[in-house]
Amino acid sequence: MFFHAGHYKPPNMASVARLPSLSSVGGHVTQQMLQQLPSPAKLGAIVTKKRPNAFVKGKRDSGNDEKSVNTKIETERYRNSYMHNLCLDMLKDGFHHSFCELFNLMKHEKEQQQKLGPDSGLQDQPLVQDQPEKLEQMKAHLTAAEAAKRRGKMDVVYSCYLTLATYFEQSGDISFSNHFYKLCLEASVKVLGDGRRKEAEANFNMGVTYEKQEYYIEAMQCFEHFYALTNGRLWQMEDTGRTLFSMACESLQNVYTTLAMQLKTSDPSESIAYLLKAYKVAKEGDDLEGRGDASYLLGCAYLDNDDAETALLYHNEYLNVCQENEDVTGMGKAHRALAKSYEKQMDIESAVKNLESFVELSEKSGDFREQQRACSAIGEMLNTLGKYEESAMYIEKAYKLTKKMQEEENKELVRTEYGIVIANLVMFGLSQAMDTTSTQNIDKLLHWKRSRKDVFAASVSIPRNFSLEKVVDYHGSDEDIKIEQDPEQNENEVIPDVTDTEQTKPVETAE
Amino acid sequence: MPILGSEEDRQHRKNQQLIRQKQMIELCRTTGQKLLFEGKYESAVPAALAALKFAIQVYGLSSIELVPSYLILGEASIGLNKLSQANEYLSQAQWTVLKTPECGNEIKSRLYRNLGLLEAARKNYFDALSHLSNDVYHSSCAYGTDDIQTSGGYFHMANVFYRQNRLDVAFSLYNQVIDIWNGHLSHLVDQRTREPEVTTGLIGQMISGDNANDIDVLGEAQEAEAIQVLNAVLELREQQTVQNASIMCKVYYTLTMLHFILNDSKQAEEFAGKAKTACENIVSGDAGMAEKISELSKAIEQIETPTS
């Protein structure tokens, strides 16, 4: 029923010009105000004055009226935020895609920050929308890109996005650079006439960004594209002259390797699958070192998987690669790995042979650490084989090296090993003397009992300062005498070792 | 004759009145808006006036709630070429907005749209673009850059650029408008075709209450806007001597969807046919599009059969 009262049909246009009085509404005061309301006196006066002009010619209308509008817009600009004005400028010039891009990015950033909450520590970081410099950069390149897009010059679009992506990468706004790399990729697909080189490059860039953020699967996909696109092409980097294809191989290998390492414990077979892929691409690339690394890792993986035979294959390849490269350290590594594989295959002889070359090579390389490792490794091996004299020789060497390196922890470890080996040696001699009775042996035994000095193996010089006696004491008596060569020595570490060798010893001597 | 009731009674009646008034405001505004989109400016005026009257009753004179009515009045005046009149209304609206700092982006957007239209009608294209930019900005703040609410701003900007003879920009904007509508309508069509009981039954406005919950409906004003905008773009596109098949296809397809949602199967079929031919003319081919068109055609047939 109210509607009927208000359903007022204007008889002509004049009724539009002035709001009809709403007689049925409100009290006296309201009535008065209502009459004033629709057309404020001042403004109405201005407008009616200008009105004839306005209809004669649009352009002429400029006079006062336009000025007032302009100043209105001007004053508004003071009130608006920088970002707001920037958006308005873009839109006004017709760059609506740029506007959408920028606006949504800002919105996304803000939402992201809010989502993470005040505890994230991001709250204090300034938003890009409050950084005029970055906004200007974005505006400049986005609008350039949009203009180029309209003209169909996709390569310009691509380079614009690329500039932005690198710009934000340098300024540390990773999500932004990421976004622009994505746009690069989209634009690059449409670049024609360069045999898809731009697409390949965009894929590479995208892959690198993904890799940096540890999205390895995505990175892998990008690199695979890159690889497929560069395969068989002779494109080169302008500055280094390196072919893109070799870069593809290298980056793809890296990603595969990383993925394989991630899966190492959870899914060994998948891990090996990745390593195989890495090996395959490494072989195609011209980088020998990469190929070597791939085969070494693959060998290690197979070894962990108890497939020593295949492991040998790849370790041998690694050795060959290192030989080609004259990489002494690498060769040493290869020999050690080979030795491990042989050991697993119970082919002790080959293992020892490899270890010996490992020692030799490590001496050549002059790296003390490697040398010590080599000596220790071969010493341990020989110890288990029951060749105590040789073992003692190597371990001694290792011990001396640790002294040179001044690494306390390692030194203690090697020292203990040394003790074990020498104890084994004496024990071996003693039991032999006991077994075969002869006057000579009885003499030796008596001498031993008297002096507790080694007389069984003359070939090995046992340093007097080394507390052999304590070790020997331990072997001589049944009681658990503490080894007191060093108060800091960890007993737990030593005692099981000793008993271990003691347990295995009779078996070996029996053989 | 009702006698003066108790205090409670009166309170109740007052509340009832208030609710009715608010409903009336809503109804009048929507009607006004719809009439505007249909180009019936003269009839939009009384509706807007009625809305204004109720709004004054409910909210008082300086409330922001009066602004939508002013805006409709302003737009109607522009349509009737009463530009100074429009300026008055819009100035009033702008003043109210200015005095209300907490005024929402939605209203600001509509205000700037009307200001833009006014300037465009005065052929002050530069100012018109400034206002329309503001419209798009505020609308994007309120709804997002790719909402149908924002598309109106793009459309008007496109018109201004078109009149300035900056055709590349204009068509780029028209494309965006079409894209936005395309996205929105696809969403609506998806909702309808996914549920079989809806595709066979009632569609659009006539959906009963319980179904309306999971289906978005195109409002009356939006419907009118869609028809106006899409047809305008189509007309412009068809006028062009060189036509891009894929764009034409998209326009036709969007119109097909619109008529499908409006339950106008005859028109929908017609546009579906045009879309199909356009789709076949795309040089590089577009399998996804062709599939979508044929799917939609099937859905159209489905709504046709039960009625005929």
Q: Are residues B50 and A3, on separate chains, in Cβ contact within 8 Å? A: yes
Report the alpha-carbon distance of residue A210 to residue A189 in Å, rounded.
Answer: 19
Could you tell me the CATH number of the domain that includes residue B48?
1.25.40.10
Contacts with A7 from chain B: Cβ below 8 Å:
46, 50
B133, A10: Cβ pair inside 8 Å? no
Distance CA B23, CA B21 (A): 5
Listed residue (A266, A188, A192) closest to A222, CA to CA:
A188
Domain boundaries, chain A: 80-109+127-192
The span from the CA of A390 to the CA of A470, in Å, is 22
Q: What is the pLDDT of residue A441?
A: 76
Helix, strand or coil, per DSSP, at residue A131:
coil
CA atoms of B210 and B216, how far apart (whole Å): 12
- Report the pLDDT value the prediction gives residue A507, as an integer from 0 to 100: 37
Helix axes A408-435, A439-451, angle to 10 degrees: 140
Tell me which of A12, A28, A91 to substitute to probe the interface with B (most B C-beta atoms closer than 10 Å): A91
Q: Which residues of A touch B130 (CB under 8 A)?
A: 73, 88, 92
Report CB contact under 8 Å: B56, A26. yes
Contact B56 A100 (CB under 8 A): no
**Given phi > 0 = left and psi -120 to 50 = alpha, else beta, which region is A397?**
alpha
- Domain, as residue range, for B24: 17-103
Q: Element (H or E) spanning A4, and its range?
A: helix A2-6
What would the pLDDT profile of A309-318 be if each residue is shown by its tens digit?
777 777 777 7
* CB contact at 8 A, A368 and A401: yes
Nearest CA to A156 out of A170, A168, A141, A171 is that of: A141
Of B24, B137, B157, the CB nearest to A84: B137
Q: Which of A17, A84, A92 sits opposite B85 (nearest CB)?
A: A17
Whether B208 is in a domain gets the answer no
> Within a domain: residue B96?
yes
Q: How far apart are CA B70 and CA A37, in angstroms?
A: 11
Q: How many angstroms separate the CA atoms of A336 and A466, rounded?
A: 29
Q: Between chains, do B53 and A22 touch, taking CB under 8 Å as contact? A: yes
Confirm whether B200 is domain-assigned: no
Nearest-CB residue to A73 (from B56, B130, B169): B130
pLDDT given for residue B222 in this prediction: 82
Instruction: State the SS3 of A89-102.
Output: HHHHCCCHHHHHHH
Measured in degrees and rounded to the nearest 5, phi and psi for residue A142 equal -65, -45
Cβ-contact A417, A376 below 8 angstroms: yes
Question: Across the interface, which of A26, A39, A54 has its CB nearest the CB of B88?
Answer: A39
Which chain A residues have a beta carbon less than 8 Å from that of B146?
Answer: 100
**Predicted pLDDT at A152:** 82
- Mind telling me how many Å the CA of A260 is from chain B's nearest CA? 38
Going residue by residue through chain A (511 aa), what tens digit of pLDDT does each one get?
Answer: 444 444 444 444 433 444 444 444 444 443 444 444 444 333 333 333 334 443 434 444 444 555 555 677 777 777 788 888 888 888 888 888 888 888 888 888 888 888 877 666 666 677 777 888 888 888 888 888 888 888 888 888 888 888 888 888 888 888 888 888 888 888 888 877 777 777 888 888 888 888 888 888 888 888 888 888 877 777 777 777 677 777 878 888 888 888 888 877 777 778 878 887 787 777 777 777 777 777 787 777 777 777 777 777 777 777 777 777 777 777 777 777 777 777 777 777 777 777 777 777 777 766 677 777 777 777 777 777 777 777 777 777 777 777 777 777 777 777 787 788 777 777 777 777 777 777 777 777 777 777 776 666 544 444 444 444 444 443 433 333 333 334 343 334 333 444 344 433 333 333 3
Model pLDDT, residue B198: 42
Mean pLDDT of all residues in chain B? 83
Q: Which residue of B has its CA nearest to A87?
A: B137
With beta carbons less than 8 A apart as the criterion, state whether A260 and A279 touch: no
> Using CA atoms, how far apart are residues A108 and B140, in angstroms rounded to an integer?
13
pLDDT at B305: 66
Q: What is the pLDDT of residues B187-231, one digit of tens each?
A: 888 887 775 544 444 444 444 444 444 567 777 778 888 888 888
The β-bridge partners of A243 are A236
Do A269 and A276 contact (CB within 8 A), yes or no?
no
| Domain tally, chain B | 1
Q: Which residues contact A227 (CB under 8 A, 6 or more apart)?
A: A245, A248, A249, A252, A281
Return mean pLDDT, chain A: 69
Q: What is the pTM of this model?
A: 0.66
Please state, as a whole number, how many other Cβ atoms lie within 10 Å of the Cβ of residue B16.
10
Kindly identify which residue of chain B lies nearest to residue A15, measuring between CA atoms.
Answer: B45
Any domain includes B53: yes
Task: Report residue B2's pLDDT band, with 50, 70 and 90 as the boundaries.
Answer: low
Q: What is the DSSP letter of A243?
A: B
* Six token digits for residue A74: 């001007």
Q: What is the pLDDT of residue A494?
A: 38
